[in-house]
Structure 1
Amino acid sequence: MPILEVNNINTYYGGIQALKGISIDVTQGEIVTLIGSNGAGKSTTLKSISGLAKVKSGSIKFKKQDITNKPPHETTLLGVAHVPEGRRIFSNLTVKENLLMGAFSVKKKNIIEERMEMAFNYFPILKERLDQKGGTMSGGEQQMLAIGRALMMKPELLMLDEPSMGLAPIIVEKIFEIINQLNQDGMTILLVEQNAYQALSIANRGYVIQNGEIVLSGKGYDLIENEEIREAYLA
């Protein structure tokens, strides 16, 4: 049974239609990835789900509840965490303060401490840099902080937008290892990623977006073997 159901959504930026009838679903426990070229509509799909972009028509349901055009803070409280492209950490705040921002709705100190320890289990470097300002960290460390901040919400669906962007290959490998581990530990993940091979290698299923439309979908390994996909995105 899908935890997320996106049905025929159309999203515009002013007069420009970014999404043209996008329909995807994500089942609990899956990694589902969206691949496509720059400007295809991948990030807009995530923004439409989280409420950062307004959907003109169509519907989005999370755990059977209609969340179409709900404000981002409401979708977050329902269990959808969105790690945006470019990380968007608070540069002038410390690592600890950034993490605490992710637990904005949690009142009990012991629960906040438990979630922080959980983040440290995946990203030990954050514990070492607890009092360091986020803006002084490397790109890879900032990406770890952005994901760690999202984990503080204890989400049921984690949406990651281009987590490997601008990172060195060795750090990309580490990030994908952690994404895979999160999934093995029970996290449902919707992943947008330019590195199509890396994404499809860990994904249960994938969707290919071109010009705001889904043009192909299938199991991750089937898409890797698809000749058109190999030529367009894996060459």
Structure 2
Amino acid sequence: MSLLQLTKVETYYGGIQALKGINLTVNKGEIVTLIGSNGAGKSTTLKSISGLASVRAGSILYNELDITSMPAHQTSFLGIAHVPEGRKIFPKLSVKENLLMGAFSVKSKAVIQERLERVFQYFPILKDRQKQQGGTMSGGEQQMLAIGRALMLKPDLLMLDEPSMGLAPIIVEQIFDIIKELNEEGITILLVEQNAYQALNIAHRGYVIQNGDIKLQGLGYDLIKNDEVREAYLA
């Protein structure tokens, strides 16, 4: 069953066209990855979905609801959580305060506490560092914090933009293990990732985007074996 459907989506930054009519589908319960070179349109795709970039043409359906022109604060209420490239945590706020920002729409203290405990199960280090300023944590810890903040929304769709960027290999493994675990627990995931092998290895399906257009798509393991993909992204 389709959870997210992009049809002929065109997005511009001023006069520059970043997305050139892309078509993309994410089915409920999937991990779908979007790979491509820098500037190909990967981050713009996520921003178009979450309402951070203005779509000029085409349509975006989420649970059959048209969200094409919906602003970001409204898409979050629908259960779409976006972890942007560069983490974008609040560096002056404590770990706990950062996490609570992800539950801004929740009124029940009991529900908030329940979600905090769930995040701490995934990321025990965040429980140990609750009072520490977010900006003083390592890159890997900040990435965990950014994902944890998104989970406080209790999303149906989790969009991750370059979660492995700048992290040590052992931390990258931990992050991808958690992504798989989240998916196994029922969260649908749309993943943008420069580490194409890692991303395709855990993805049910993948798309290759070049110059704002989808050039290839297929099952994750099929794209790993594709000669064009291997030469461009896995060499």
TM-score by length of 2: 0.99
1:31 aligned onto 2:41: no
CA drift of 1:217 comes to 0.1
Q: Describe the superposition over 1:45-80 as per-residue Cα deviations: whole angstroms up to 9, x where unpaired.
A: 000000000000000011000001211010000110
Partners of 1:83 and 1:23 lie apart in 2 by 22
Partners of 1:202 and 1:80 lie apart in 2 by 21
Q: Describe the superposition over 1:62-116 as per-residue Cα deviations: whole angstroms up to 9, x where unpaired.
A: 1000001211010000110000000000000000000000000000000000001
Partner of 1:140: 140
Q: How does 1:35-114 map to 2 (within 5 A)?
A: 35-114=35-114
Partner of 1:217: 217
Partners of 1:200 and 1:142 lie apart in 2 by 24
Q: Describe the superposition over 1:130-162 as per-residue Cα deviations: whole angstroms up to 9, x where unpaired.
A: 000000000000000000000000000000000
Partners of 1:28 and 1:117 lie apart in 2 by 25
- SS of the residue 1:69 aligns to: coil
Identity of aligned residues (%): 74
Partners of 2:23 and 2:117 lie apart in 1 by 36
1:131 aligned onto 2:141: no
The size of the alignment, in residue pairs, is 235
- SS of the residue 2:149 aligns to: helix
Partners of 1:104 and 1:58 lie apart in 2 by 31
- SS of the residue 1:19 aligns to: strand
Letter in 2 for 1:4: L
- SS of the residue 2:177 aligns to: helix
Partners of 2:66 and 2:119 lie apart in 1 by 30
- SS of the residue 1:52 aligns to: coil
Partners of 2:7 and 2:122 lie apart in 1 by 33
Letter in 1 for 2:149: R
CA drift of 1:185 comes to 1.0
Partner of 1:150: 150
Partner of 1:181: 181
Letter in 1 for 2:79: G
TM-score by length of 1: 0.99
Partners of 2:6 and 2:153 lie apart in 1 by 22
Q: Describe the superposition over 1:184-231 as per-residue Cα deviations: whole angstroms up to 9, x where unpaired.
A: 111100000000000000000000000000000000000000011000
- SS of the residue 2:221 aligns to: helix
Q: How does 1:186-201 map to 2 (within 5 A)?
A: 186-201=186-201
- SS of the residue 1:119 aligns to: helix
Unaligned runs of 5+ in 2: none
Letter in 1 for 2:2: P
Letter in 1 for 2:100: L
